[in-house]
Amino acid sequence: MEKLLNEKESLELIGQMINTAKNNLEKGTGKIFLLWGYLVAGISFGTCILSMILPKQTAYDAYLLWFLMFFGIPFHFWLIKKRENERLVMTYIEKLMRWVWIGFTLSVLVVVVGMLLDTVILSYFVSRVKEGNDFVYWFQWLLLTPIMLCLYGFALFVSGKAYEFKPLVIGGIICFFASFFLFFSIHKTGVMYFQQFVLGVSAVAGFVIPGHMLNRKEYKNV
Amino acid sequence: MFKELDPLLHSQLRLAVISILIGTEEADFVFIREKTASTAGNLSVQIEKLREAGYISVEKSFKGKMPRTTCRITPAGISAFEKYVDALHSYLQPK
């Protein structure tokens, strides 16, 4: 049966239907935020504590904890696959956000892999020349956390504004402030431990708290 | 002067389908059925009419073992929708 509408009813129906998918949040997004949020926060706090406990000569070994991040990758793809199977609609915002987060991941990889490779090359060069100015060998690592926080801030802020979800916007702003603050404290003694602590707090503010709130919102939307 | 309303879009269910698709990149048959509160049979018929007119594209695939039907609006569908909305405005605000 085809029901014909008058002009006013037609316009009302159009508005009503367009709004059905507006600000749609893909089910499962919250879990992805929680995976990386807890992983980054746990590793940051772990590194901070471990580097204070370990003897001074081996304190930097605590940073090896960051290799645990690789364990997040299979879980991430499992969550993505699950989300894809449950997805019933894709809005233009979701499509755009997908590319924003892919861009974010590539930016993180460029910075981390770039620094790792640079360190390997520099350590080889410095150990051969033995000029005694090997500060360049480790100085770049002081910039890693503020750069990461700036990238977190960007992705969270844009996502929060696109989905009109305030906790993500607030998380993004906290990451921006944390990044700004860490750039200014680079010269302080013991800044490496402090950076890890700030990174952990930012991961909780930017990923863990909004992740739990997203989960609750997705559950309510079902 | 009143513009002619596209008869293909001037029906409740087909207009609802096109309106959902205009705001999304793609939508699953189940999603459209839930949002339009229609029956699967009726929705299938209306979707087929829109597909035949070239207003939407329909892709059938499998999600695990479950069949999945995904709909997308085409450029011809977007153009038809815009003309339809224009025509509606001419009825509501006649000069």
What is the overall mean pLDDT for chain A?
86
What is the pLDDT, as a whole number, of residue A222?
44
CA–CA dist A169, A173 (Å, integer): 6
A40 and A204 Cβ atoms separated by less than 8 Å = no
pLDDT at A188 over 90: no
* Sheet arrangement for strand B24-28: A89-91, B24-28, B66-73, B56-63
Measure B26 CA to nearest chain A CA, in Å.
5
For testing contact with chain A, the best of B2, B12, B48, B70 (most A CBs within 10 A): B12
pLDDT at A7 over 90: no
Q: Which residues of B touch A4 (CB under 8 A)?
A: 10-12
Q: Which residues of chain B have pLDDT under 50?
A: none
Q: Which residues of A touch B26 (CB under 8 A)?
A: 89-90
B78 in contact with A at a CB cutoff of 8 Å? no
pLDDT 10s digits, A30-69 = 899 999 999 999 999 999 999 888 887 888 888 889 999 9
User: b/e for A159-168, b at 16 or more Cβ within 10 A?
Assistant: bbebbebebb
What is the pLDDT, as a whole number, of residue B50?
95
Measure B69 CA to nearest chain A CA, in Å.
10
CA distances from B77 to A159, B33, B52, B73 (A): 29, 19, 11, 6
Query: Which position has the token pair 């580097």?
Result: A51
Measure A208 CA to nearest chain B CA, in Å.
29
Closest residue in A to B7 (Cα–Cα): A4
Task: Spell out the domain ranges in chain B.
Answer: 12-90
Q: Which residues of B touch A87 (CB under 8 A)?
A: 28
pLDDT over 90 for what percent of chain A?
45
pLDDT at A4 over 70: no
pLDDT 10s digits, A73-85 = 999 999 998 888 8
Q: Which residues of A touch B35 (CB under 8 A)?
A: 17, 20-21
CATH topology of domain B12-90: Arc Repressor Mutant, subunit A (1.10.10)
CA distances from A41 to A13, A35, A37, A46, B47 (A): 46, 10, 6, 8, 48
What is the pLDDT, as a whole number, of residue A68?
93
Tell me A207's DSSP state. Answer: I
CA distances from A191 to A102, A138, A198, B42, B72 (A): 30, 13, 10, 66, 53
Q: Do B19 and A18 lie within an 8 Å CB cutoff?
A: yes
Q: Which residues of A touch B7 (CB under 8 A)?
A: none
What is the pLDDT, as a whole number, of residue A83?
86
What is the pLDDT, as a whole number, of residue A1?
52
SS (H, E, C) A84-152: HHHCCEEEHHHHHHHHHHHHHHHHHHHHHHHHHHHHHHHHHHHHHHCCCCCHHHHHHHHHHHHHHHHHH
Mean pLDDT of A103-125: 86
pLDDT at A142 over 90: no
Q: Kindly report the CA angle at A190 between A186 and A191, in degrees rounded to 5?
A: 30
User: b/e for B35-58, b at 16 or more Cβ within 10 A?
Assistant: bbebeeeebeebbebbeebebbbe
pLDDT 10s digits, A13-29 = 888 888 877 766 677 78
Mean pLDDT of A105-110: 94
